[in-house]
A and B are shown apart, each in its own frame.
Chain A
Amino acid sequence: MASGIKDKVAILGMGCSKFGERWDTSPDDLMVEAYIEALDDAGIEPNQLDAAWFSHHIDDIGAGKGGTPMSIALRLPNISVTRVENYCASGSEAFRGAVYAVAAGAADIAIALGMEKLKDTGYGGLPATNYGTFGPQIGPSGSAPGNFAQLASAYRAKHGVSAEDMKRAIAHVSVKSHANGAKNPKAHLQKEVTEEQVLNAPMIAEPLGLFDCCGVSDGAAAAIVTTPEIAKSLGKDNLISVKALQLSVSNGLESHHNTWDGSYFHTVRIAAKKAYAEAGITKPREEVSMMEVHDCFSVTELVTMEDLFISEEGQAVKDVMDGFYDADGPVPCQIDGGLKCFGHPIGASGLRMLYEMYLQLQGRADKRQLKNPSIGLTHNLGGQPANNVCSVAIIGSL
């Protein structure tokens, strides 16, 4: 069996732009904003970068295809730039590429940068995804909320949860994230909301109302990685290292075979098991200090709590209502506001999650700072419940 990535690579520096409706900011400007912060944090010059990974999902309204948009925006020194795209998990893919390059010894220092410019569409929500020439001839012309909302119907049927109890539990997920986002100056949405507001919001896709859906934002985030040895040689201490990086991708079982019941993420369970094994975690509910999960919709976060083996199967509703994942709970989730409130510039989101875990682990999270976290988990999901890619990453103090 492969030895895994644990402690082979350290984060040298990170940066994250302000997320939100950045009407006056171009895709290039967003990249520069995250890049400058990451470079300053790492304390290096551009010519010390050996390789770059660029994650960007929707090229037709963003920066375009290929690696050139990043190279040109940042005037990189003609190093390799690999554009990666893996739905909403693209940011984690960029990070994986950079980390693997360093671990392999192909690069001493590598950068991963994700960016998305979503607010040039002319309307709210995500634009329709292009899924080839066959898919649109049979698949519904649906939307992300419509796809993820289906988790609720299947979960309720499986676990016997009433529509009202489900609606209230997912409302609590959003109320908690808004409370956290209100403490984050870089978040897209920085206002607290009440449970009543969430319950009474306009319906988007049953049972998801407006406040069950994450922000659609412009933004960029970046990570510069190297080996622990080089990091130390550059004078860094308080190192944060990569403990696990796993990616699981649907092979059509969920969407084509009747064994999947629609109430959970098959890939998340696989990626989580592998990540815990890689990081040496045996009791995740006790060992994971905090999490940033892919809360594109409130119901996604709720079922993910079980798929990451933090809540027992069928117990997520209870744990959520008990405040287990609140800022003052045993495993705070979305302490930066999550996709819900920090926002979801697709290509940047996986890196934004890591950014918050990194700040928390270094004790630099300001008003949101948790007490002595040691292990941070990020869960970054792309696609839809029946057909998706799932990244689970774990970072912690070296």
Chain B
Amino acid sequence: MNPELGLFALILATCLALLQSIIPLVGSYNGRLNWMATGKTLATGQFIFVLLSFMCLVVAFVTDDFSVQYVASNSNSLLPVYYKVTAVWGGHEGSLLLWILTLTGWGQVVALRSGKLPPELSARVLSVMGMISVGFMLFILLTSNPFTRILPFPPADGSDLNPLLQDLGMIVHPPMLYMGYVGFAVAFAFAIAALLGGQLDSAWARWARPWTTVAWCFLTAGISLGSWWAYYELGWGGWWFWDPVENASLMPWLSGTALIHSLAVTEKRGLFKSWTLLLAITTFSLSLFGTFLVRSGVLTSVHAFASDPQRGLFILGYLLVVVGASLTLFAFRAPEVRSKISFSLLSRETLLLLNNIILVTSCATVLLGTMFPLLLDALDMGMISVGPPYFNLLFVPLSMLLAACLGIGILLNWKKGSVSWLKQQVRWIAIISVIGGIVFSFLYGDRFLVSEALAMGLVFWMVLTIGKDVRNKTRNSGLLKGLRKLKPAYYGMQLAHLGLAVTFIGVALTSGYSVQKDLRMSPGDSAQVGEYVFRFDGVSQRQGPNFVADYGKVSVFKDQKQITVLKPEKRIYTVQNMPMTEAAIDPGLTRDLYVALGEPLGGDSWAVRLYVKPYVRLIWLGSIFMALGGLLAVSDKRYRVRLKKKKQALMGAKSKSGNGTQDDTVTTGGQA
């Protein structure tokens, strides 16, 4: 009964979404406030029913209802209960349902906070979000129903969740990522509403900005969680593989980063309007495209995913409708007039434009690298796979360029700056950065690495320019007093930029100075890696809930003192008979000690992989800074104070218009 209830709730939600995509929109054109107001109620209803549907699926998993096909192929009675819950989004159907839950969740939040917007705008935003929902819900209902039963002969037990996904990182990674992906739907809806209504001023930018930033924060967190998961779960010690699925999440991030910067210019200076709109559309399109890539199996390197042309075709059609329609709308309605507002060549505007160009180029680079194999294949020029060499060759210099621009952009003022002023500002910083980078690379590690010197120089450059800017901003009223005066938005921005610098350190030092050894070790054998001595103490066995494991014991010493005992595992998940490597990591801010167990080599000896990865944690610490910086910026009173005022004004307007509506009804009634 329960799965049928879930399906029914989903169908109801689809109907509500359909209504939501029509009624408020129509109302916004013929000025009916009560039509517009239905958007909120419908959004709430939609959210509740999708939540109900999702809970039904959770219940089916927790109660081991293997008559449901999706449960049978993604769960098992031996699976610990928390993994049963997360198995809900372990496969295609369930993760789509999670996608929709997230989307309607965002819709609900927009509805709650939309009282502060002009009613036409909020009605259109909600309608656009409704349309997005309808598409995805139809996709689930028509091609990927998670509630399909296997009757009359349900299997006795399920075929288990993919062991790769039985992990803490997998519990939080997809919801975070989806919060980001789908969050950009709100920015997209705002952009479409602006195109429909023709209102595109700094007030619009101020409304759209916090939504975009929050989505960006979630996406940042989601991507870095994914990278962290790959790091410890795949047992490779790498943290980014340029896999198409990873690229699919990186592309919206790059274009979303460009978007939040361009929105800043639109809000503060009323510039880059069309560009901002285009970026908002692009960012969400890339999120959709990411879904398409992962779900359709269009790329050969994602062979591992179920390839289903019918599903692929549906998403492609959906993409065509959503993106095609919005780009057509953009082509006809985007503001054409060249802005009269001017800025000099050396100004924050120019640098932010550069920032956008670099980010969009990076995004295009990733897109090209991901799609190139397909393009060549389509033109019958043979198969080719562009691997990490291509991405590193293009992406790394672009990031460095971005870092260099960041320093200048932060220091410059809006509108205009002078070369001599800038020179005087950065003279010392530039010298210190160059020397700092070179000296660092000479002192650290045993050889001089050009790229590491360059990256560290840029880290000095970013950190020092941020410091210099804080100093400039507080010069007039003294450091402490001045610091108190600075707004959360400013701190948020600088924290996020500092985060980029921190990530830079992590990436540079890990790629430059990691030490690794692959050894055959028998119990009692020791090996020196860097300044650490690893002693292999043999392998024992243990029984997990749904796996059996060989676990090794490796004691690690530094300067004769024992630091830790690491227990890497080699598991066999019994249901799918699938071997898995569980690396053991001793994390630290300055270095990770990473041990993975290979294969038994006869006798007591095993293949053992030992890594010392310096500062690898900083990669993720930096992205935490970025995400927190974004949240801090959103917390800025500026967004709320003005909104509050607006709200008061609107409340006045509303009570008036409320009366108006009543009058309307009365008249209609009278006419009838």
The judgment on whether A and B are partners is no
A residues neighboring B (CB under 8 Å)? none
B residues neighboring A (CB under 8 Å)? none
